[in-house]
Structure 1
Amino acid sequence: MGSSVSFDTWHTVVVGVFAWSAVFVVLRKMIGNRSFDFCNRLVSMVHVGVAIWLSSASIKDWRHPLHPLASPSSPLQIRALAVSLSYFIYDFICCLFVTPISISNCIHHTVSILGLLGGISYGVCGSELVGCLWLMEISNPFMHMRELLKELNYKDSNLSLINDICFALIFSFARLIMGPYVTYYTLTANNPFIIKATSFGLQAVSIFWFYKIVRMVFYKLSNRNWKESKVS
C-alpha cells in the first residue's frame, strides 16, 4: 500500500491543503465583515467547481462512467482524488473551528478522507471514487448557498425557498437514487476493504442527511403557508 503512489501525488495533496487555506485567508481579508463560516463556504463553492471539472475530465466513457470496475486508477483520476483529498483535509480542520461542531459533518469528512486516501494509496477504484465524488459535489452549491443566504438576510425569501427545493431534489436524486447504484457496484467489485467500508459509510450519512433535509423542506413550506394564511 502506497508504494505505487508517486511523490507528485502526495505533493499535490500537501500543496493543496495550503492552497485552499490561502484562498480562505484571501477571502477573509477581502470580506472581513463576514463570518468564518461564510468565507469557508465560498472556498467550498470553488472546490465544487474544481472537483466536478476534474472528475468529469477523468471519466473514460460517459456511457459507462463507473467502468472498468476495480481497475487501476488513471493519472487524471488520481489527480481529481488528490485535489479533493487536500480540500477535505482543509475543510475538516475548518469544521473544528465552527461552533457548535457538527458530529455528522465530522463523520462525513472523516469517511471521505479515508476513502480518498485509500483510493490514492491502493491506486485502484478510480472510476467508482470519481463517480462518487461527482455525485457528492453536485448538490453542494445549493447546500452552501442556503447558509450564505441566511447570513445575507435572505433566509425567508423566495430565492431561499427555491434554493432549498433545488437542494432537496438534486440531493435526493444524487444521493438516494444514484448513490446506492454506485455503492452497490463498489461493494460487489473486487475493491479494498477500506474503500468498500467508506462507500457504505457515505451512503449511510447521506440517508441521515436526507431525513434532515425532508424535515427542513416540510418545516419551511408549512411555516410559509402559515404566514401567508395569517396575512390574508
Structure 2
Amino acid sequence: MPVLEVICSLIGWFCLYLLFCCTFAHRSPEWNCRLVTLSHGVLIVLLTAYVVFIDGPWPFTHAGTENTELQTFALAVCLGYFFFDMCWCVFNQTEGPVMLAHHAASIMGILLALLMGVSGCETCGVIFGSEITNPLLQTRWFLRQLGLYDSLLGDAVDLLFILLFATVRVGVGTVMFYCEITSPRTTLIMKVGGVVMYGLAWVFMVDIARFGYKKSRAKYKKWLENHKLKEINTQKLD
C-alpha cells in the first residue's frame, strides 16, 4: 500500500504541474514548479501538524515507534513530491549541490521510515519543521518575480522566514535531534540520517544568517543616507 500511495502522489504532483503549465502558459517552467512546491508546502505542513500535534504519538517521547496509517500516508505524499521535485531540478539544473543533497537526504530518510515501518512520528516531525518555512521561501521568490520584493511586505516575509527557521528548524530541531539520538528504539541508520539532516539545517542556517546580516546592513545604510538627505534638505529650507 505505501508503494501505491507514493506512485499516486508522484502522479498527482506531476499532474498538478501540468495543470499549472496549461493555466499559466505565459510563465516560466520554474514559476509553475514553484507553485507546486508552494502547494506541497502548505498541504504537508497542515497534514504533518495534524499527525504530530493531534493524532500522535508525540515524537519527542516516542521516537522509533511503529508507524501509524496516517503517518505512512503523510510520508508517502511527501515522498512522491520529493521524487517529482528532484527529477525536475536535475532535468532543469536549477539547484546547487546543497539543495540537491537536502532532497536526496529527505528521500532516503522517508524511504527508510516507510520500508522499515518505524520512526514515522519523528520523521513527520522533521518534515513539519523543515517545510514550515517553505511557503515563505516561495512567497519571497514570487514577490521578486512580480517586482514587489523591495517593500514592507518583502521585509516582513524575510523576517518571518529567518525567525521561523531559527526557532523551529534549528531550535526545536536540536531538541528533536537529541531525542532521536538518545532514543533506544531508534535504529542506527535513522540516527545517521538524523545527523545528516541536522548538519544540512546548520549549513542553511549559516547562509541565512549571512543573508540577514547583509540585508540588515544594507537597510541601515539606506536609512542613514535618507536621514542625512532629509537633514540637508531641512537646512536648505531654513
Specify if TM > 0.5: yes
Structure number with bigger Rg: 2
2: CA distance between counterparts of 1:98 and 1:151? 19
2: CA distance between counterparts of 1:61 and 1:75? 11
Amino acid at match of 2:16: V
1:186 aligned to 180, 186, 192, which one?
Answer: 180
- Point out the more displaced range, 37-46 or 58-67: 58-67
Provide the residue aligned with 1:5 in structure 2: none
1:92 aligned to 86, 94, 102, which one?
Answer: 86
TM-score w.r.t. the length of structure 2 is 0.88
Provide the residue aligned with 2:16 in structure 1: 23
Provide the residue aligned with 1:169 in structure 2: 163
Structure 2 segments unaligned to the other structure (5+ residues):
230-238
Tell me the matched-pair count.
Answer: 225
TM-score w.r.t. the length of structure 1 is 0.90
Task: Provide, for residues 83-126 of structure 1, a one-character-per-residue CA deviation record: whole Å limited to 9, x for no partner.
Answer: 10111111111211444531110000000000000000000011
**Do 1:139 and 1:174's aligned partners in 2 also have CA atoms closer than 8 Å?**
no
Q: Does 1:197 align with 2:192?
A: yes
1:113 aligned to 107, 126, 135, which one?
Answer: 107
Shift of 1:72: 0.6
1: CA distance between counterparts of 2:27 and 2:209? 29
Q: Could you say if the C-alpha distance between residues 100 and 9 of structure 1 is closer, same or farther in structure 2, counting changes exceeding 3 Å?
A: closer
1: CA distance between counterparts of 2:56 and 2:77? 22
1: CA distance between counterparts of 2:76 and 2:69? 10
Structure 1 segments unaligned to the other structure (5+ residues):
1-7
**Do 2:61 and 2:179's aligned partners in 1 also have CA atoms closer than 8 Å?**
no
1: CA distance between counterparts of 2:116 and 2:23? 40
Provide the residue aligned with 1:160 in structure 2: 154
Shift of 1:34: 2.2
1: CA distance between counterparts of 2:201 and 2:131? 12
* Identity %, equivalent residues: 26
Q: Does 1:222 align with 2:217?
A: yes
**Do 1:54 and 1:76's aligned partners in 2 also have CA atoms closer than 8 Å?**
no
Provide the residue aligned with 1:122 in structure 2: 116
2: CA distance between counterparts of 1:162 and 1:172? 15
**Do 1:115 and 1:194's aligned partners in 2 also have CA atoms closer than 8 Å?**
no
SS of residue in 1 equivalent to 2:215? helix
